[in-house]
Amino acid sequence: MKMLKKENERISTILAFLLIPISGMAMDVYLPSFPHMSSSLGTTAEDIKLTLTVYLVSYGVSQLFVGSLVDALGRYKINIISLFIFILSCLGIVYSNNIYFIFLMRFIQGITISFIVVCKRSYFIDVYTGSKRKHFTSMLTMVWATAPILAPFIGGYLQHSFGWRANFWLLGIYAAIMLILELKFSGETIKVKQKLNFRSTLTNYQTLMKNADFSIGTILLGVSYTMVMIFGMSIPFIVEQKFHLSPVYSGYCALVSGIAIFCGGTLGKVTIDKPFYPKLAIANLIQLVVALLMMLSTNWISGLVPMMIFVFIIHLFQGFTYNVYFTYCITRFPEFAATSSGMASGGSYLIFSIVSYLIVHIINVEGQFSLSVTYIICLVLVFGLLWLVKLSMKKRGLALN
């Protein structure tokens, strides 16, 4: 078995950070292409949105189970095999005109990327301890947020210049480069492999689910990110159909959202030692106030720029919330890091993929007012979940700070 060499630890850490955003890239890079994919493939907007939902559900459900496999079998070989299959799936999409085949490829991509991301998140738990571990794990959501910043921005230009298939060429080429670098510099990092049997796996999951602040927090993460997902699914149609602008502007709007999430993640890292519950409650309150102002001002403030100012503030504190709670969840159980990481991330992905898909089908998100309504619904749910977390922590005698 090829173990990670000490002299390659630094570059392997960089490669891990470079692979973390691939889940977001696969989700966001083709968002500006939604209307054009619909016309090119001769299908409905709902079917194109479903390609994203299929990926998210596959990615989320997979993470609930792949963690135990990664804890039992190791990180390195699984990551290499997953990258290779992901490259093949990208080529499959590029050369396909069948929406059902694309559904299948997106389903496969969700599974392969879940393996890749769980392996790479576990890397930081394997290699680092103490303050370094806390430092690097708190950076994960910040690094992940580079995908929402760059991917739709690049995707908008790719769509404008080359068409929607160029987005999947980009994903395949990026994965191929990372595969070569991983083969050269990375290696196995797990120190003690967990037993792969149904009973021990079930015990690990029971431990996680019985921990209320972990299980409720996973739901909270999913509902919180639903706001970003609804925005991402809706903004191409708002930009191109309501404001009659090109896909490049969809990319710019996604860029604003991504920068906000990144800044929020940075704020979460900076305030990592501040009282835990109070900072989450304040962030939720600010978001709710801004969403209400966004809704009430619709009749006298209109246009893409004013709407995006409201979106920026809301997504800023969403990024903050996600960073703070996700860091808390994935560092709670270092003895089975991949399982807890997969549970927190996969559970939240499953929740926001389903909730966002349902909301955009119940509410026709076509502008500032309807978008603000979806934000308010999500933020009220987050408020209730935070209250449950507070009760749980008090009951267990844990300090809220």
The domain that contains 352 carries what CATH number? 1.20.1250.20
Domain of 201, in residue numbers: 7-186+194-395
The pLDDT of residue 71 is: 80
- Structural domains of the chain, count: 1
Q: What angle do CA 43, 104, 351 make, to 5 degrees?
A: 90
Q: What are 128-171's pLDDT values in tens digits?
A: 877 777 677 777 766 776 776 788 888 888 998 899 999 999 99
Task: Read off φ and ψ for residue 335, nearest 5 degrees.
Answer: -70, -25
List the end-to-end C-alpha distance of the chain, in Å, as a whole number.
43
**288 occurs within a structural domain:** yes
305: exposed, middle or buried (C-beta count within 10 Å: 0-12, 13-18, 19+)? exposed
In a 3-state reduction of DSSP, which class is residue 3? strand
Q: Does residue 1 lie within any of the structural domains?
A: no
Residue 401 falls inside a structural domain: no
Report pLDDT digits (tens) over 294-324.
Answer: 999 988 887 899 999 999 999 999 999 988 8
Domain membership of residue 286 (yes or no) is yes
State the average pLDDT over residues 38-44. 90
Q: How far is CA 343 from the centre of its chain?
A: 13
pLDDT confidence tier of residue 326, bands split at 50, 70 and 90: confident
Quick one: pLDDT at residue 335?
67
**Residue carrying structure tokens 């246009």:** 303
Q: Output the pLDDT for position 272.
A: 77
Q: Is the model's pLDDT at 379 over the cut of 90?
A: yes
* Mean pLDDT (whole number) for 11-19: 91
pLDDT score at 157: 87
Query: What residues pair up with 188 in beta bridges, in sequence order?
Result: 3
How is residue 168 written in tokens? 């999947």
Read off the tokens for 262.
């990144």
Sequential DSSP letters for 155-197: HHHHHHHH-THHHHHHHHHHHHHHHHHHHHH--B--SSPPP--
Q: Which residue has the tokens 């304040």?
A: 282
Mean pLDDT value of segment 2-25:
87
pLDDT at 141 (0 to 100) = 66
Give dist(CA 317, CA 336) in Å, integer: 30
| pLDDT tens for each residue of 88-138 | 999 999 999 999 999 999 999 999 999 998 888 888 888 887 777 767 777
Choice between 246 and 84, residue whose per-residue pLDDT is larger: 84
The pTM of the full predicted model, rounded to 2 decimals, is: 0.76
Q: CA dist 78 to 61, 67, 118, 244, Å?
A: 17, 11, 10, 45
pLDDT tens figures, 179-199? 999 999 988 888 777 776 667
Cβ atoms within 10 A of the Cβ of 7, count? Answer: 9
Per residue, the 3-state secondary structure of 353-367, as one string, reads HHHHHHHHHHCCCCC
Whether 35 has a pLDDT exceeding 80, the answer reads yes
On whether residue 275 sits in a domain, the answer given is yes
What are the tokens at 227?
């706001």
The per-residue pLDDT for 183 is 94
Domain annotation covers residue 400: no
Identify whether 354 is part of a domain.
yes
Mean pLDDT of the chain: 86
State mean pLDDT over 272-292.
91
**pLDDT over 80 at 399, yes or no:** no
9 has pLDDT over 90: no
Say if residue 331's pLDDT is above 60: yes
Does pLDDT of 327 surpass 70? yes
Is 135 among the domain residues?
yes
* Coil vs helix vs strand at 273: coil
